[in-house]
Amino acid sequence: MKTLHPAVVCFLLFLLPVNFVASQNSNPVSSDSVYAQKDSIITEEIKVNSFMPEAVNVNGNLRFNIANSKFRYGNNAFEVIQKLPYVFAINENSISVNNNNNILIHVNGRSSNAYYNLTNIPYDKIDYIELNMTPGVRYSSSDISAIINIVLLKEEKMAYNGNINLSADSKEYYKGNLFMNTKIDDIYLFAMYDIGRGRNTFDTKRQRESDGQVMNSINTFDNSIYSKSRNNSISISGVYDFSKNSFIQVDFLDATNRNDGNGNYNIFNGNTGELERSDNSTNTLYKSDEKISAYLKHKFSEKTTLEGEVNISRNPDNLYTKNLNVFYSGANPENVFLNYEVHKDESDRQQYYSIDLAHKQSDKIKYESGISLNRIISTENYYMDTSIILNYLMPYSEEFDRNFSLNRDIYSVYTSFSLNDDSYFFQSSLRIEYSNDELKNIYHDFSNSVHVENKFDMGSKFYPVANLKFSKKISGSNEISLSVSKKLNRPNASQLNQFKINYDEYNFREGNQNLTPENIYNAELSYNMFNPVFSLRPSLNFKYSNDLIRRIAYIYYNQEDGTTTSYSTLINQGERLQYGADLYANIRMINNLFLSGSIGIFYTDFINIADINEDNKINLSGKLNVNYMFNEDFNVNANFSYTGFKKYALSVSDPVYYASLGITHTFFDKSLSVSLQGMDIFDTYKNSFTVYGSNYEDTYSTDYKMQSVMLNLSYNFGKLFENKNKKPKDRNKDKEEKNPDLH
């Protein structure tokens, strides 16, 4: 019987006692940066000898080559992302990287392909996935913590293929997806049909506590919402090659969503605990999206490329929105690169203009600079009912209307200097933003024809941000990397909105127009070790934030009826300090068994904030992936993830566990692939929102728990696409590209 190497045994003993993987619930897209593209308009690639999947280092970013992998990591892009180190994902709306919020997800380096859905991108269409955990200054200064870029196979590398994906979960939601691609003459066709039926149920509870005890005379509530949903979408995409230098892509999307909801709302007396009032409400929400877009790319020469994109969409009110995106990149002379981008929304909700200029002084020295204007308009509308005191909000009223808007102009200039040698990479960057915010409150009384409009100019301010990257090869493919950066977290429209909004008739909140951005400082030191037997990446992380945006509350007591009402607002207060270490490892146990995993421990502390609970300062996290190949046609994969308690200035998150098990079998000389995947979120997932008062705290929590199973069938009908006009790109010659793809 074979024995394991002592180093392998030590590694397993180190992994097993630790609870695995980490991150947090987040909203993955920042509106300030929806048009962010690549970290640099000149990229350099360094390949390293890893295995399963092949690891590639691109200016400090981790690239995972999926197409060349022996194992199947899932049925779609989302399931693959779940397996990546430093990534924690429960669903498409809950993805975070390396314990950080606000990530961007790109497809082929572009965020404008809105019809792409992570669960609708078949596994067989993915070339590689790139993970950028230190976005540079080409991006907005808002705290974009990471970028996940999913790069699909080029058309000439795809086969005639049909893909069916079916899923069901314990929430009684059923989903089916059909994806097909084929080729007719010089036209590549991609079609997708998605259908979903089921229900969603979640419970929200609120409770006020003081010193751990439920407060008397304070009303509490629980809210249970049950809804039936029906979703349908169809998208068709066609790519036509005019020649080896030109192609056009046309996308069409038609999607509908209907949600029939039934909510129960119970209010309990704080003194007796008895039910004081119960309400029941029903509503139907219907949403439809129709969109057509055209994307044209023409390569005038080896140095000059022009790209253009037009999007036309229609909403349920039959209002049309047009978006224009233009990308120009050229080199004249040969060592000077120019990149020009324009994004314009006809409704003027967002406009973006930028010019980037890069000068390649030599093979080692490069300069890059750019200017941009990002104009954002955010609005919020509320209908009022005067029968309720304190501006109690109702779903609809024909009497009053209030509108809030934020007009934000951000003028930016950045510069970057980089040195790239065979043994090291260095980049130093600085970005300065000049921001001007204007708030507008509009009050309209329909019955009395009264219209009042107030404007508040928040003034203009300069915000400097910086980024530094350094990596040094130690020996072979081993290297040490350092990244230091400063970023901003700007308050959004909801946080600045001073109109009062209610949770119920006992609880009200409003924003604060005097909020300022949070300053966020990050540093990471890592060591990358790659060889044919194992890969290791230990790292030390530090994150410091000040001028935190947090919510505070006040209590008003009504002596006449004995009720209490809470009023909350937002302020800048305190600091957040987080530091810790994590380790990513990929190891070959025996010829057909591979393990990969990550473990992390982080310490979080709040400074100059007296009312935040001091418990649970240490967060443990981890992830373990196991892949075993019985033969070339049959393999099994298992995944276990854990993230511990997390604490933020505005919310907390309880520990979450989930596990998955999948099998894949191929038939008919790998033409047919059958994959079955199951996932269990076997611990209750709680996302709590806590409002701290002078002597109490309000906690709103939502529980989430689910089991799911997914079946995927993929069949290749014939040979690979043939394209006489195109030559497959040699991925080892990225350094030699005269004019690399900018997007």
Contact by Cβ (8 Å): 269, 236: no
Rounded to 5 degrees, what are φ and ψ at 17?
Answer: -75, -10
Residue 135 C-beta-side C-alpha neighbours within 13 Å: 26
pLDDT digits (tens, 9 = 90+) for 676-709: 888 776 555 555 555 555 445 555 555 656 778 8
Contact by Cβ (8 Å): 658, 518: no
pLDDT digits (tens, 9 = 90+) for 571-583: 898 898 999 998 8
Which structure tokens are listed for 180?
Answer: 């097909």
Number of H helices, E strands in the chain: 3, 39
pLDDT for residue 544: 94
Average pLDDT, the chain: 70
Q: How many CB atoms lie within 10 A of CB 462?
A: 9
Which 8-state DSSP code applies to residue 387? T
Please report, in angstroms and rounded to a whole number, the separation of the first and last CA atoms in the chain. Answer: 52
Rounded to 5 degrees, what are φ and ψ at 489?
Answer: -125, 100
- What is the longest distance spanned by two Cα atoms in the chain? 90
Poorest-pLDDT segment among 140-144, 388-392, 686-690, 708-712: 388-392
pLDDT of 295 over the 50 cut: yes
pLDDT for residue 4: 40
CA distances from 628 to 30, 81, 83, 623, 670 (A): 38, 19, 15, 17, 18
Instruction: Select, from the ranges 312-326, 336-350, 533-547, the one with the highest average predicted confidence (pLDDT).
Output: 533-547
The model carries a pTM of 0.71
pLDDT band for 540, please (50, 70, 90 cuts). Answer: very high
Spell out the domains of the chain, with CATH numbers in brackets. 6-22+187-736 (2.40.170)
Summarize the confidence of residues 706-735 as an average pLDDT: 58
Poorest-pLDDT segment among 82-96, 337-351, 422-436, 727-741: 727-741
Q: How many CB atoms lie within 10 A of CB 14?
A: 13
The region that residue 119 occupies, defined by phi over 0 for left and psi between -120 and 50 for alpha, beta otherwise, is: alpha
Query: What is the C-alpha separation between 431 and 263, in angstroms, rounded?
Result: 48
Query: What is the C-alpha separation between 601 and 19, in angstroms, rounded?
Result: 10
Summarize the confidence of residues 542-552 as an average pLDDT: 88
Instruction: Select, from the ranges 49-53, 176-180, 546-550, 706-710, the one with the highest average predicted confidence (pLDDT).
Output: 546-550
